[in-house]
Structure 1
Amino acid sequence: MDRLEIKASYLQAAQLFAAKNDPRYYLKGILLTPENGGQIVATCGHKIIAIQDDELQALADPIIIELGGPITGYADIARIDGLDDGRGIVTMYRGGNIVKTAAWSKVDAKYPDYERVMPQPHRESAGLVGVGFNAEYMAICQKAARLITGKKDTFVKLSFGAVDTDIITVSFGAENVRMGVMPCRIK
C-alpha cells in the first residue's frame, strides 16, 4: 500500500503530542500501525495520544513517520503518499482542494510499547487526594479535542489512577481517541 487517506484532524492532533527536540529521535515521529484496529500514536514521553482509525488496518506493517514541518490549517483529509518508499508527501485537502503539503520520512526505529502506559478505563481512584501535572500538556489535549471534534467548546474529563504516579486519563467523548498526561512531582 503506497497511499493512505485519514482524517486530517487525526494527524494534526497527533503532531501536537510528538516530541520536538528529543535525543530519542523516534519520539519526533508519529506511529501509524494496523494493530489494535488501526492506530495513530504519538508521544513525547510526558503526554500521549492514540487514535483508532480503521483505515490504518490496510497497512502491512507499522511505520513511524516524521513530518518535515507543521501541518496546520483547515483540512478534511490528509493523504500520505510514498509509504512503500519510506518517504513522501502529506497532502492536506479541504473540499477536494489542496491547502497544505509537507514532506515526511520514515524513522527507522522501534516505537515504544505505548499500550503499557496508555490510560486504562477500568482503573479507579482509591482516595487519591491530588496529583501534579503540567498545565501546558492539558492545553494540548484540549487543542487536540477541538481539532478532532471541530467544536470550539469541547470539554475534557480528567480521570486519575489509584496512586499519584498513574497516568492521568484525558477524555472528551470520542471513543476512538485515548489521551494521557504523565503526572509530575510538585516541590
Structure 2
Amino acid sequence: MKIKSAMLRAALVCVAKNDARYYLNGIHITPKYIEATNGHVALRLEHGINTRRNIIVQFIGHIPVRADMTELTFGKSLLATHYDAHGQRIGFTAIKLLDGRFPDLDRVVPTMVDHNINPVVQAGLLSYPEKMFGRERKFIPMQLLPSGKESAVLIKFDTTVNSMYGNPKFVVMPCRDSAFEVVKEFLG
C-alpha cells in the first residue's frame, strides 16, 4: 500500500509517545482514513488509496524529509519503504502492527458548530498544525470551530491544506472550565 509521506508525517505528529494505551502509539489506517490521536488531539485524513485494511501501524523511526511516497509492506518482514518525488528509493523505516481497538473518531469529530461557546484549550495543542503542515508552507491559517463547552474543537484549514492532506479533520480536546482557577490555585 502506497501513501503520501506528507500525510504519514502529519499523522505521526499526533501519535502518542510511550502511552500505556499502546494502540495510541500508532497510526490507524482504515479503508478511507489515516487517523492518529494522543488523547489530547486527534487527526483524520482521507488517504484516497484502495485498501480494505483496518490496521494500527507503529513507525520505529522517522520518515525521511525528502520522502514523497511511502510503501507499507506487510509480508514476512514489516517495512516502510520511502521514495522521493522521482520514484527513487531513499530509505526504509521499520514498522510494527499493533493489536488493539483504536478509538472511534466519529464520536470525537464534531458535526455541529456553536460560535457562542468559548471553550478553554491548552495553548501548546494549537501548535500542532504548524508541526503537521509547516514543511510545505510557512503561513497556515486556521479557524476554530467549537461545538460545546466540553466537546472537541474542530480546526478548519484552507483549501490548499485540504487538497494536499486529504481534508484534515483536526480536533483539540478542551480543558475543564475550572482550568484557570486550578492554575491560579496551584501556580499562584
Based on CA coordinates, which of the two structures has the bigger radius of gyration?
2
Match of 2:114 in 1: 125
- The reply to whether residue 140 of structure 1 matches residue 137 of structure 2 is no
- The reply to whether residue 91 of structure 1 matches residue 81 of structure 2 is yes
Describe the shift of the 1:69–1:91 C-alpha distance in structure 2 as closer, same or farther (beyond 3 A).
same
Deviation for aligned residue 1:23 = 0.6
Contact 1:141 1:170 in 2 (8 A): no
RMSD between superposed Cα atoms in Å: 1.7
Match of 1:16 among 13, 21, 24: 13
What runs of 5+ residues in structure 2 fail to find an aligned partner?
183-188
Match of 2:155 in 1: 170
Contact 1:64 1:108 in 2 (8 A): yes
**Secondary structure at 1:112 match in 2:** coil
Match of 1:73 in 2: 65
Deviation per residue, 1:154-185 (Å, 9 max, x gap): 21211111x31110111212162110000113
The AA in structure 1 aligned to 2:36 is A
- Structure-2 separation of matches of 1:111 and 1:33: 10
- The reply to whether residue 157 of structure 1 matches residue 143 of structure 2 is yes
Describe the shift of the 1:31–1:89 C-alpha distance in structure 2 as closer, same or farther (beyond 3 A).
same
Describe the shift of the 1:96–1:20 C-alpha distance in structure 2 as closer, same or farther (beyond 3 A).
same
Deviation for aligned residue 1:72 = 4.5
The AA in structure 1 aligned to 2:175 is C
- Structure-1 separation of matches of 2:139 and 2:54: 34
What runs of 5+ residues in structure 1 fail to find an aligned partner?
none
- The reply to whether residue 184 of structure 1 matches residue 184 of structure 2 is no
- Structure-2 separation of matches of 1:131 and 1:20: 26
- Structure-1 separation of matches of 2:169 and 2:93: 26
- Structure-1 separation of matches of 2:27 and 2:14: 9
Describe the shift of the 1:181–1:5 C-alpha distance in structure 2 as closer, same or farther (beyond 3 A).
same
* Count, aligned residues: 171
The AA in structure 2 aligned to 1:157 is Q
- The reply to whether residue 110 of structure 1 matches residue 101 of structure 2 is yes
Deviation per residue, 1:27-70 (Å, 9 max, x gap): 00111100xxx100000111000000220xx3233011111123
